[in-house]
Structure 1
Amino acid sequence: MSLDLQTAANKRMRRGLIILAAIAAVLAVIVVLLLAFGGGKKDDGKAPAPAPTHVGPSNPTEGSEDSYASPKSWVKLPEGKERSNGLPVRFPQTDEGAAAMAVALVRAGWSISPEEVEKAAGTYSVPEEAEAAKSMAKDSAAENRKAAGIPTSGPMPQDAAFNVIPIGVQWEHQDNTHVKVSVDVRIVMSSGTGSSPDTRLVSTSTLAVWTDGDWKDHSIPPGQQPKPADIGNPEFNSAGWKAIQEGDRR
Protein backbone atom coordinates (compact mmCIF):
# COMPACT_ATOMS: atom_id res chain seq x y z
CA MET A 1 0.00 0.00 0.00
CA SER A 2 1.45 3.39 -0.92
CA LEU A 3 1.99 6.03 1.73
CA ASP A 4 -0.99 8.10 0.55
CA LEU A 5 -3.22 5.04 0.87
CA GLN A 6 -1.85 4.34 4.32
CA THR A 7 -2.77 7.89 5.30
CA ALA A 8 -6.19 7.39 3.80
CA ALA A 9 -6.64 4.39 6.06
CA ASN A 10 -7.39 6.87 8.84
CA LYS A 11 -10.42 8.17 6.94
CA ARG A 12 -13.81 6.59 6.54
CA MET A 13 -13.70 4.19 3.60
CA ARG A 14 -16.50 2.71 1.58
CA ARG A 15 -17.69 -0.66 2.83
CA GLY A 16 -16.85 -2.42 -0.43
CA LEU A 17 -13.26 -1.23 -0.34
CA ILE A 18 -12.92 -2.32 3.27
CA ILE A 19 -14.16 -5.82 2.50
CA LEU A 20 -11.81 -6.14 -0.47
CA ALA A 21 -8.91 -5.08 1.74
CA ALA A 22 -9.80 -7.72 4.31
CA ILE A 23 -10.02 -10.43 1.68
CA ALA A 24 -6.67 -9.29 0.29
CA ALA A 25 -5.13 -9.73 3.75
CA VAL A 26 -6.15 -13.38 3.95
CA LEU A 27 -5.35 -14.08 0.32
CA ALA A 28 -1.91 -12.54 0.80
CA VAL A 29 -1.04 -15.32 3.25
CA ILE A 30 -2.42 -17.94 0.87
CA VAL A 31 -0.50 -16.52 -2.08
CA VAL A 32 2.75 -16.34 -0.11
CA LEU A 33 2.43 -19.96 0.95
CA LEU A 34 1.47 -21.14 -2.52
CA LEU A 35 4.49 -19.35 -3.95
CA ALA A 36 6.65 -20.95 -1.29
CA PHE A 37 5.34 -24.47 -1.58
CA GLY A 38 3.91 -24.67 -5.10
CA GLY A 39 0.43 -25.45 -3.78
CA GLY A 40 0.95 -29.19 -4.10
CA LYS A 41 0.02 -29.04 -7.78
CA LYS A 42 1.56 -31.06 -10.55
CA ASP A 43 3.60 -29.35 -13.24
CA ASP A 44 1.22 -27.58 -15.65
CA GLY A 45 3.91 -26.69 -18.15
CA LYS A 46 4.24 -23.10 -16.95
CA ALA A 47 7.37 -21.61 -15.49
CA PRO A 48 7.22 -21.78 -11.68
CA ALA A 49 6.70 -18.60 -9.71
CA PRO A 50 9.70 -17.26 -7.77
CA ALA A 51 9.76 -18.96 -4.39
CA PRO A 52 10.94 -17.66 -1.03
CA THR A 53 14.17 -19.02 0.32
CA HIS A 54 14.26 -22.79 0.70
CA VAL A 55 16.24 -24.30 3.52
CA GLY A 56 16.94 -28.01 3.52
CA PRO A 57 16.60 -29.87 6.80
CA SER A 58 20.34 -30.47 7.05
CA ASN A 59 21.29 -26.93 5.98
CA PRO A 60 19.48 -24.52 8.27
CA THR A 61 21.62 -21.47 7.56
CA GLU A 62 22.21 -21.95 3.84
CA GLY A 63 25.93 -22.03 4.39
CA SER A 64 28.75 -23.74 6.20
CA GLU A 65 29.69 -23.03 9.78
CA ASP A 66 32.47 -20.78 8.47
CA SER A 67 29.89 -18.52 6.79
CA TYR A 68 27.58 -18.24 9.80
CA ALA A 69 26.76 -14.62 10.55
CA SER A 70 25.35 -13.82 13.96
CA PRO A 71 22.41 -11.42 13.97
CA LYS A 72 23.51 -7.81 14.42
CA SER A 73 20.29 -6.86 16.19
CA TRP A 74 18.06 -8.66 18.66
CA VAL A 75 14.71 -7.56 20.05
CA LYS A 76 12.65 -8.88 22.95
CA LEU A 77 9.08 -8.04 22.04
CA PRO A 78 6.68 -7.03 24.81
CA GLU A 79 3.98 -9.39 26.02
CA GLY A 80 0.31 -8.50 25.77
CA LYS A 81 -1.13 -7.32 29.08
CA GLU A 82 -4.36 -9.28 28.57
CA ARG A 83 -5.71 -12.20 26.57
CA SER A 84 -8.71 -12.40 24.25
CA ASN A 85 -9.88 -15.65 22.65
CA GLY A 86 -6.87 -17.20 24.36
CA LEU A 87 -4.48 -14.90 22.45
CA PRO A 88 -2.28 -12.07 23.75
CA VAL A 89 -3.69 -8.54 23.32
CA ARG A 90 -3.23 -5.05 24.78
CA PHE A 91 0.29 -4.46 23.57
CA PRO A 92 2.01 -1.16 24.47
CA GLN A 93 1.67 1.80 22.12
CA THR A 94 5.25 1.56 20.87
CA ASP A 95 6.87 0.32 17.68
CA GLU A 96 7.87 -2.82 19.53
CA GLY A 97 4.27 -3.27 20.67
CA ALA A 98 3.08 -3.03 17.06
CA ALA A 99 5.69 -5.62 16.06
CA ALA A 100 4.57 -7.90 18.90
CA MET A 101 0.99 -7.82 17.60
CA ALA A 102 2.11 -8.68 14.07
CA VAL A 103 4.20 -11.59 15.33
CA ALA A 104 1.30 -12.85 17.46
CA LEU A 105 -0.97 -12.69 14.41
CA VAL A 106 1.45 -14.81 12.36
CA ARG A 107 1.82 -17.37 15.14
CA ALA A 108 -1.92 -17.74 15.59
CA GLY A 109 -3.29 -17.11 12.11
CA TRP A 110 -0.94 -19.03 9.84
CA SER A 111 -2.58 -22.33 10.62
CA ILE A 112 -4.12 -25.42 9.06
CA SER A 113 -7.01 -25.17 11.52
CA PRO A 114 -9.98 -23.09 10.33
CA GLU A 115 -10.93 -22.42 13.94
CA GLU A 116 -7.48 -21.04 14.73
CA VAL A 117 -7.41 -18.86 11.60
CA GLU A 118 -10.86 -17.45 12.37
CA LYS A 119 -9.94 -16.79 15.98
CA ALA A 120 -6.79 -14.90 14.98
CA ALA A 121 -8.67 -12.88 12.35
CA GLY A 122 -11.31 -11.86 14.86
CA THR A 123 -8.74 -10.98 17.49
CA TYR A 124 -6.21 -8.99 15.50
CA SER A 125 -7.98 -7.48 12.46
CA VAL A 126 -9.14 -3.87 12.51
CA PRO A 127 -12.87 -3.94 13.23
CA GLU A 128 -13.95 -3.04 9.70
CA GLU A 129 -12.03 -6.00 8.24
CA ALA A 130 -12.64 -8.63 10.91
CA GLU A 131 -15.83 -10.24 9.60
CA ALA A 132 -14.58 -10.51 6.02
CA ALA A 133 -11.28 -11.98 7.23
CA LYS A 134 -13.09 -14.50 9.46
CA SER A 135 -15.26 -15.60 6.55
CA MET A 136 -12.12 -16.66 4.66
CA ALA A 137 -10.75 -18.82 7.48
CA LYS A 138 -11.90 -22.19 6.12
CA ASP A 139 -10.46 -21.53 2.66
CA SER A 140 -7.23 -20.15 4.11
CA ALA A 141 -6.65 -23.20 6.32
CA ALA A 142 -7.42 -25.55 3.42
CA GLU A 143 -4.93 -23.77 1.18
CA ASN A 144 -2.28 -23.98 3.89
CA ARG A 145 -2.85 -27.73 4.19
CA LYS A 146 -2.70 -28.04 0.41
CA ALA A 147 0.55 -26.08 0.30
CA ALA A 148 2.07 -28.53 2.79
CA GLY A 149 0.90 -31.57 0.86
CA ILE A 150 -1.69 -32.42 3.52
CA PRO A 151 -5.23 -33.41 2.42
CA THR A 152 -7.50 -30.38 2.65
CA SER A 153 -10.16 -32.29 4.57
CA GLY A 154 -10.40 -35.26 6.86
CA PRO A 155 -8.02 -36.38 9.59
CA MET A 156 -4.39 -35.36 9.57
CA PRO A 157 -1.96 -38.03 8.35
CA GLN A 158 0.31 -39.43 11.00
CA ASP A 159 3.32 -37.19 11.67
CA ALA A 160 1.94 -34.41 9.44
CA ALA A 161 3.07 -30.99 10.63
CA PHE A 162 2.79 -27.31 9.80
CA ASN A 163 4.85 -25.29 12.26
CA VAL A 164 5.15 -21.51 11.89
CA ILE A 165 8.10 -19.86 13.68
CA PRO A 166 8.64 -16.08 13.44
CA ILE A 167 12.38 -15.52 13.66
CA GLY A 168 12.87 -11.88 12.69
CA VAL A 169 11.04 -8.58 12.60
CA GLN A 170 11.51 -5.02 11.40
CA TRP A 171 9.30 -1.95 11.35
CA GLU A 172 8.86 1.49 9.84
CA HIS A 173 7.44 4.10 12.20
CA GLN A 174 4.93 6.30 10.40
CA ASP A 175 3.25 8.04 13.31
CA ASN A 176 2.10 7.19 16.81
CA THR A 177 -0.86 5.20 15.51
CA HIS A 178 0.55 3.61 12.34
CA VAL A 179 3.58 1.30 12.05
CA LYS A 180 4.42 -0.87 9.06
CA VAL A 181 5.70 -4.19 10.43
CA SER A 182 7.44 -6.99 8.54
CA VAL A 183 7.93 -10.49 9.93
CA ASP A 184 10.49 -13.08 8.83
CA VAL A 185 8.98 -16.54 9.23
CA ARG A 186 10.40 -20.06 9.19
CA ILE A 187 7.81 -22.70 8.26
CA VAL A 188 8.58 -26.35 8.95
CA MET A 189 6.14 -28.75 7.35
CA SER A 190 5.66 -32.41 6.68
CA SER A 191 2.92 -34.21 4.80
CA GLY A 192 3.33 -37.12 7.21
CA THR A 193 3.47 -40.87 6.48
CA GLY A 194 7.25 -40.96 6.78
CA SER A 195 8.04 -37.91 4.66
CA SER A 196 11.04 -35.80 5.64
CA PRO A 197 10.29 -32.35 7.04
CA ASP A 198 10.82 -29.42 4.71
CA THR A 199 11.67 -25.89 5.82
CA ARG A 200 10.80 -22.69 4.00
CA LEU A 201 11.37 -19.02 4.74
CA VAL A 202 8.64 -16.49 4.04
CA SER A 203 8.28 -12.81 4.87
CA THR A 204 5.11 -10.77 5.26
CA SER A 205 4.24 -7.14 5.95
CA THR A 206 1.23 -5.48 7.51
CA LEU A 207 0.13 -2.07 8.74
CA ALA A 208 -0.39 -2.00 12.51
CA VAL A 209 -3.03 0.57 13.46
CA TRP A 210 -3.63 1.78 17.02
CA THR A 211 -7.36 1.20 17.58
CA ASP A 212 -9.32 1.33 20.85
CA GLY A 213 -6.24 0.97 23.01
CA ASP A 214 -4.49 -1.81 21.12
CA TRP A 215 -2.68 -2.56 17.87
CA LYS A 216 -4.76 -4.10 15.10
CA ASP A 217 -3.85 -5.52 11.71
CA HIS A 218 -4.77 -3.52 8.59
CA SER A 219 -4.09 -5.36 5.36
CA ILE A 220 -1.71 -4.09 2.71
CA PRO A 221 -1.10 -5.71 -0.70
CA PRO A 222 1.61 -8.41 -0.87
CA GLY A 223 4.92 -7.66 -2.55
CA GLN A 224 6.12 -4.97 -0.14
CA GLN A 225 7.93 -7.21 2.30
CA PRO A 226 11.73 -7.55 2.70
CA LYS A 227 13.47 -10.68 1.48
CA PRO A 228 13.30 -13.57 3.96
CA ALA A 229 16.52 -15.07 5.30
CA ASP A 230 17.33 -17.46 8.11
CA ILE A 231 19.34 -16.61 11.18
CA GLY A 232 22.98 -17.26 10.39
CA ASN A 233 22.64 -16.21 6.77
CA PRO A 234 24.43 -12.89 6.10
CA GLU A 235 21.33 -11.78 4.18
CA PHE A 236 19.40 -11.77 7.46
CA ASN A 237 21.44 -8.74 8.51
CA SER A 238 21.63 -7.08 5.11
CA ALA A 239 17.83 -7.21 4.79
CA GLY A 240 17.52 -5.35 8.10
CA TRP A 241 15.99 -8.11 10.23
CA LYS A 242 16.12 -8.01 14.02
CA ALA A 243 16.26 -11.49 15.54
CA ILE A 244 13.40 -12.20 17.93
CA GLN A 245 14.64 -13.00 21.41
CA GLU A 246 12.16 -15.58 22.62
CA GLY A 247 13.17 -15.96 26.25
CA ASP A 248 11.32 -18.94 27.72
CA ARG A 249 9.16 -19.47 24.62
CA ARG A 250 11.71 -21.70 22.87
Structure 2
Amino acid sequence: MPTALVLLLAVVGLTGYSMLSGSGSDPGSAKPGAAATAPSSPAPTYEPPRDWTDPERWATLPRGARSDTRGKDIGFPQTLEGALGMVVASNSTLVHPGHTNKNEQLALYESYFSASDRSTRLRDGLELAGGESDAQLRRDWGLPVGSELPQGSYVRAHVIGYKVIEHSPTEVSVWLLSRVTTKPGETKAERGSYIRSLAAVRWEQTDWKLSIAAFETASRLAQEQDEPAIVAPGDPAFNPAGWTAIREAS
Protein backbone atom coordinates (compact mmCIF):
# COMPACT_ATOMS: atom_id res chain seq x y z
CA MET A 1 0.00 0.00 0.00
CA PRO A 2 1.49 3.42 -0.93
CA THR A 3 2.90 5.40 2.00
CA ALA A 4 0.61 8.37 1.38
CA LEU A 5 -2.46 6.12 1.51
CA VAL A 6 -1.30 4.52 4.76
CA LEU A 7 -0.75 7.95 6.27
CA LEU A 8 -4.07 9.27 5.03
CA LEU A 9 -5.92 6.29 6.45
CA ALA A 10 -4.19 6.89 9.76
CA VAL A 11 -5.53 10.44 9.79
CA VAL A 12 -9.09 9.98 8.56
CA GLY A 13 -9.44 6.75 10.51
CA LEU A 14 -8.84 8.78 13.64
CA THR A 15 -11.88 10.97 13.01
CA GLY A 16 -13.77 11.72 16.18
CA TYR A 17 -13.30 9.44 19.13
CA SER A 18 -9.98 7.85 18.20
CA MET A 19 -8.43 11.27 17.84
CA LEU A 20 -9.41 12.10 21.40
CA SER A 21 -8.30 8.73 22.78
CA GLY A 22 -8.47 9.89 26.36
CA SER A 23 -10.78 10.25 29.33
CA GLY A 24 -9.56 13.30 31.21
CA SER A 25 -11.41 16.51 31.97
CA ASP A 26 -12.17 19.10 29.33
CA PRO A 27 -10.37 20.29 27.41
CA GLY A 28 -6.89 18.82 27.42
CA SER A 29 -6.37 15.35 28.81
CA ALA A 30 -6.05 13.10 25.77
CA LYS A 31 -3.52 10.31 26.02
CA PRO A 32 -0.33 11.01 24.08
CA GLY A 33 0.70 8.76 21.23
CA ALA A 34 -2.75 8.06 19.79
CA ALA A 35 -1.68 9.47 16.43
CA ALA A 36 2.06 9.04 16.62
CA THR A 37 2.31 7.76 13.05
CA ALA A 38 0.37 10.62 11.48
CA PRO A 39 0.61 14.42 11.48
CA SER A 40 -2.39 14.57 13.76
CA SER A 41 -2.07 14.82 17.49
CA PRO A 42 -3.97 15.44 20.74
CA ALA A 43 -2.76 17.89 23.36
CA PRO A 44 -2.19 15.79 26.49
CA THR A 45 -1.66 18.67 28.93
CA TYR A 46 -3.24 21.70 27.27
CA GLU A 47 -5.60 23.85 29.31
CA PRO A 48 -7.02 27.09 27.90
CA PRO A 49 -5.91 30.21 29.80
CA ARG A 50 -8.35 32.13 31.94
CA ASP A 51 -7.68 35.42 30.16
CA TRP A 52 -9.16 35.76 26.66
CA THR A 53 -7.04 37.17 23.82
CA ASP A 54 -8.99 37.97 20.66
CA PRO A 55 -7.87 36.04 17.58
CA GLU A 56 -6.36 38.39 15.01
CA ARG A 57 -7.70 36.38 12.09
CA TRP A 58 -11.29 35.25 11.63
CA ALA A 59 -12.99 33.58 8.65
CA THR A 60 -16.55 32.70 7.72
CA LEU A 61 -16.31 29.86 5.24
CA PRO A 62 -18.94 29.01 2.61
CA ARG A 63 -21.16 26.02 2.90
CA GLY A 64 -21.76 23.60 0.05
CA ALA A 65 -24.39 24.54 -2.50
CA ARG A 66 -26.36 21.41 -1.64
CA SER A 67 -26.39 18.22 0.42
CA ASP A 68 -25.93 14.76 -1.07
CA THR A 69 -27.92 11.64 -0.24
CA ARG A 70 -25.75 11.07 2.85
CA GLY A 71 -26.48 14.55 4.20
CA LYS A 72 -22.96 15.82 3.45
CA ASP A 73 -22.38 19.32 2.09
CA ILE A 74 -21.04 19.31 -1.47
CA GLY A 75 -20.75 21.83 -4.32
CA PHE A 76 -18.18 24.26 -2.91
CA PRO A 77 -16.88 27.19 -5.00
CA GLN A 78 -13.48 27.00 -6.69
CA THR A 79 -11.85 29.47 -4.33
CA LEU A 80 -9.50 29.13 -1.38
CA GLU A 81 -12.45 29.74 0.94
CA GLY A 82 -14.47 27.10 -0.90
CA ALA A 83 -11.68 24.56 -0.49
CA LEU A 84 -11.44 25.37 3.21
CA GLY A 85 -15.20 25.07 3.58
CA MET A 86 -15.07 21.59 2.04
CA VAL A 87 -12.17 20.58 4.29
CA VAL A 88 -14.09 21.72 7.36
CA ALA A 89 -17.21 19.86 6.23
CA SER A 90 -15.31 16.62 5.58
CA ASN A 91 -13.55 16.81 8.97
CA SER A 92 -16.63 17.60 11.07
CA THR A 93 -18.22 14.39 12.33
CA LEU A 94 -20.84 13.23 14.79
CA VAL A 95 -21.23 9.75 16.27
CA HIS A 96 -24.38 9.04 18.30
CA PRO A 97 -26.88 6.23 18.93
CA GLY A 98 -27.75 4.78 15.53
CA HIS A 99 -24.82 6.40 13.73
CA THR A 100 -21.33 4.93 14.13
CA ASN A 101 -17.87 6.12 13.19
CA LYS A 102 -17.90 3.38 10.56
CA ASN A 103 -20.92 5.13 9.06
CA GLU A 104 -18.99 8.40 9.10
CA GLN A 105 -15.97 6.90 7.36
CA LEU A 106 -18.05 5.31 4.61
CA ALA A 107 -19.87 8.61 4.06
CA LEU A 108 -16.46 10.31 3.89
CA TYR A 109 -15.45 7.89 1.14
CA GLU A 110 -18.65 8.26 -0.87
CA SER A 111 -19.01 12.03 -0.56
CA TYR A 112 -15.52 13.48 -0.55
CA PHE A 113 -12.84 11.28 -2.11
CA SER A 114 -11.40 11.91 -5.57
CA ALA A 115 -12.69 9.54 -8.24
CA SER A 116 -9.09 8.69 -9.11
CA ASP A 117 -8.48 7.42 -5.56
CA ARG A 118 -11.69 5.50 -4.99
CA SER A 119 -10.94 1.80 -4.65
CA THR A 120 -11.99 -1.27 -2.72
CA ARG A 121 -8.73 -1.03 -0.75
CA LEU A 122 -9.42 2.55 0.36
CA ARG A 123 -13.06 1.87 1.18
CA ASP A 124 -12.19 -1.25 3.16
CA GLY A 125 -9.43 0.62 4.99
CA LEU A 126 -11.80 3.39 6.03
CA GLU A 127 -14.47 0.90 7.08
CA LEU A 128 -11.93 -1.05 9.16
CA ALA A 129 -10.60 2.11 10.83
CA GLY A 130 -14.12 3.24 11.66
CA GLY A 131 -15.02 -0.15 13.10
CA GLU A 132 -11.89 -0.20 15.26
CA SER A 133 -12.74 3.26 16.57
CA ASP A 134 -16.29 2.13 17.42
CA ALA A 135 -14.95 -0.92 19.26
CA GLN A 136 -12.48 1.18 21.24
CA LEU A 137 -15.23 3.59 22.23
CA ARG A 138 -17.34 0.77 23.64
CA ARG A 139 -14.39 -0.70 25.54
CA ASP A 140 -13.59 2.65 27.11
CA TRP A 141 -17.21 3.26 28.02
CA GLY A 142 -17.60 -0.27 29.43
CA LEU A 143 -20.23 -1.31 26.88
CA PRO A 144 -20.77 -4.80 25.44
CA VAL A 145 -19.22 -5.48 22.04
CA GLY A 146 -21.55 -4.36 19.25
CA SER A 147 -24.05 -2.77 21.62
CA GLU A 148 -25.99 0.39 20.82
CA LEU A 149 -24.66 3.60 22.32
CA PRO A 150 -26.60 4.96 25.33
CA GLN A 151 -29.24 7.61 24.80
CA GLY A 152 -27.78 11.11 25.04
CA SER A 153 -24.26 9.94 24.19
CA TYR A 154 -22.17 11.34 21.38
CA VAL A 155 -18.70 11.94 19.97
CA ARG A 156 -18.37 15.19 18.06
CA ALA A 157 -15.42 16.54 16.06
CA HIS A 158 -15.71 20.20 15.12
CA VAL A 159 -13.10 22.25 13.23
CA ILE A 160 -12.48 25.59 14.94
CA GLY A 161 -9.40 26.93 13.15
CA TYR A 162 -7.01 26.45 10.26
CA LYS A 163 -3.58 27.41 8.93
CA VAL A 164 -3.00 27.24 5.19
CA ILE A 165 0.22 25.49 4.18
CA GLU A 166 0.04 26.11 0.43
CA HIS A 167 -2.69 26.89 -2.07
CA SER A 168 -3.35 27.29 -5.77
CA PRO A 169 -6.56 27.46 -7.83
CA THR A 170 -6.62 23.66 -7.99
CA GLU A 171 -4.92 22.40 -4.80
CA VAL A 172 -4.98 23.42 -1.13
CA SER A 173 -3.14 21.98 1.88
CA VAL A 174 -3.95 23.05 5.42
CA TRP A 175 -3.47 22.37 9.11
CA LEU A 176 -6.76 22.00 10.99
CA LEU A 177 -7.45 22.73 14.64
CA SER A 178 -10.43 20.80 15.96
CA ARG A 179 -12.22 20.24 19.22
CA VAL A 180 -13.42 16.71 19.94
CA THR A 181 -15.99 16.16 22.68
CA THR A 182 -17.45 12.97 24.10
CA LYS A 183 -20.47 12.38 26.30
CA PRO A 184 -21.05 8.76 27.43
CA GLY A 185 -24.74 9.28 28.28
CA GLU A 186 -27.55 11.68 29.13
CA THR A 187 -26.42 12.22 32.73
CA LYS A 188 -22.69 11.90 32.09
CA ALA A 189 -20.21 14.78 31.94
CA GLU A 190 -18.95 15.98 28.58
CA ARG A 191 -15.20 15.70 28.07
CA GLY A 192 -13.05 16.97 25.29
CA SER A 193 -9.69 17.86 23.82
CA TYR A 194 -8.11 19.83 21.00
CA ILE A 195 -6.40 18.16 18.09
CA ARG A 196 -4.30 19.19 15.09
CA SER A 197 -4.57 17.36 11.76
CA LEU A 198 -3.43 17.68 8.17
CA ALA A 199 -5.73 17.87 5.14
CA ALA A 200 -5.35 18.42 1.40
CA VAL A 201 -7.82 18.74 -1.46
CA ARG A 202 -7.81 19.09 -5.24
CA TRP A 203 -10.35 20.62 -7.59
CA GLU A 204 -12.02 17.87 -9.61
CA GLN A 205 -14.45 18.89 -12.37
CA THR A 206 -17.12 20.64 -10.27
CA ASP A 207 -16.04 20.33 -6.62
CA TRP A 208 -13.13 19.97 -4.20
CA LYS A 209 -12.16 16.41 -3.32
CA LEU A 210 -9.83 14.71 -0.85
CA SER A 211 -6.81 13.50 -2.81
CA ILE A 212 -4.08 11.04 -1.87
CA ALA A 213 -1.61 12.78 -4.19
CA ALA A 214 -2.45 16.17 -2.67
CA PHE A 215 -2.09 14.69 0.80
CA GLU A 216 1.33 13.31 -0.08
CA THR A 217 2.43 16.78 -1.19
CA ALA A 218 0.97 18.33 1.96
CA SER A 219 2.81 15.80 4.14
CA ARG A 220 6.10 16.71 2.47
CA LEU A 221 5.48 20.44 2.86
CA ALA A 222 4.46 19.98 6.50
CA GLN A 223 7.79 18.34 7.28
CA GLU A 224 9.58 21.46 6.07
CA GLN A 225 7.96 23.75 8.65
CA ASP A 226 7.10 23.82 12.32
CA GLU A 227 3.74 22.37 13.26
CA PRO A 228 1.41 25.03 14.69
CA ALA A 229 0.87 24.78 18.43
CA ILE A 230 -2.35 23.16 19.63
CA VAL A 231 -3.99 26.11 21.35
CA ALA A 232 -7.61 27.17 21.52
CA PRO A 233 -8.96 30.47 20.18
CA GLY A 234 -8.52 33.01 22.97
CA ASP A 235 -5.15 31.63 24.04
CA PRO A 236 -2.36 34.25 23.68
CA ALA A 237 -0.39 31.63 21.71
CA PHE A 238 -3.19 31.22 19.13
CA ASN A 239 -2.16 34.22 17.02
CA PRO A 240 1.62 33.55 17.00
CA ALA A 241 0.87 29.95 15.95
CA GLY A 242 -0.67 31.33 12.76
CA TRP A 243 -4.19 29.98 13.25
CA THR A 244 -7.29 31.59 11.75
CA ALA A 245 -10.44 31.11 13.84
CA ILE A 246 -13.64 30.02 12.12
CA ARG A 247 -16.95 31.79 12.55
CA GLU A 248 -20.15 29.85 11.94
CA ALA A 249 -21.72 30.62 8.57
CA SER A 250 -25.19 32.14 8.73
Please report the TM-score for the alignment, with normalisation by the length of structure 2.
Answer: 0.73
CA distance in 2, matches of 1:153, 1:228: 34
**CA deviation map 1:123-145 (0-9, x unaligned):** 11112323333223332223333
**CA deviation map 1:54-74 (0-9, x unaligned):** 589xxxx6111xx21111111
Please state if 1:75 is matched with 2:59: yes
SS of 1:234's equivalent in the other structure is: coil
Query: How do 1:71-220 residues align onto structure 2 when only pairs under 5 Å count?
Result: 71-85=55-69, 86-108=71-93, 112-131=100-119, 132-145=121-134, 146=136, 149-150=140-141, 151=143, 153-192=146-185, 194-219=187-212, 220=215
* Long gaps (5+) in structure 2: 24-30
**CA deviation map 1:21-44 (0-9, x unaligned):** 4443222234586564259xxxxx
Matching residue of 2:233: 231
* Contact residue 119 and residue 134 of structure 1 kept, 8 A: no
SS of 1:169's equivalent in the other structure is: strand
* Contact residue 95 and residue 179 of structure 1 kept, 8 A: yes
| Cα 1:162–1:178 shift into 2, 3 Å | same
Please report the TM-score for the alignment, with normalisation by the length of structure 1.
Answer: 0.73
Aligned residues: 219
Please state if 1:25 is matched with 2:8: yes
More helix by share: 1
Stretches of 4+ aligned residues off by more than 6 angstroms? none
**CA deviation map 1:121-173 (0-9, x unaligned):** 22111123233332233322233332583456221034322011111122233
SS of 2:73's equivalent in the other structure is: strand
* Long gaps (5+) in structure 1: 1-15, 40-46
**CA deviation map 1:182-214 (0-9, x unaligned):** 221000113338542211111111221111121
CA distance in 2, matches of 1:22, 1:122: 17
* Contact residue 72 and residue 237 of structure 1 kept, 8 A: yes
- Give the letter aligned to residue 62 of structure 1: P
Q: CA deviation at 1:98?
A: 1.0
Q: CA deviation at 1:244?
A: 0.8
- Calculate percent identity across the aligned residue pairs: 22
Matching residue of 1:42: none
CA distance in 1, matches of 2:100, 2:83: 25
> Could you say what the CA RMSD is over the residues aligned between the two structures, in angstroms?
3.3
- Give the letter aligned to residue 109 of structure 2: A
CA distance in 1, matches of 2:107, 2:19: 25
Please state if 1:62 is matched with 2:51: no
CA distance in 2, matches of 1:109, 1:189: 10
CA distance in 1, matches of 2:178, 2:133: 15
| Cα 1:120–1:30 shift into 2, 3 Å | closer
CA distance in 2, matches of 1:69, 1:25: 34
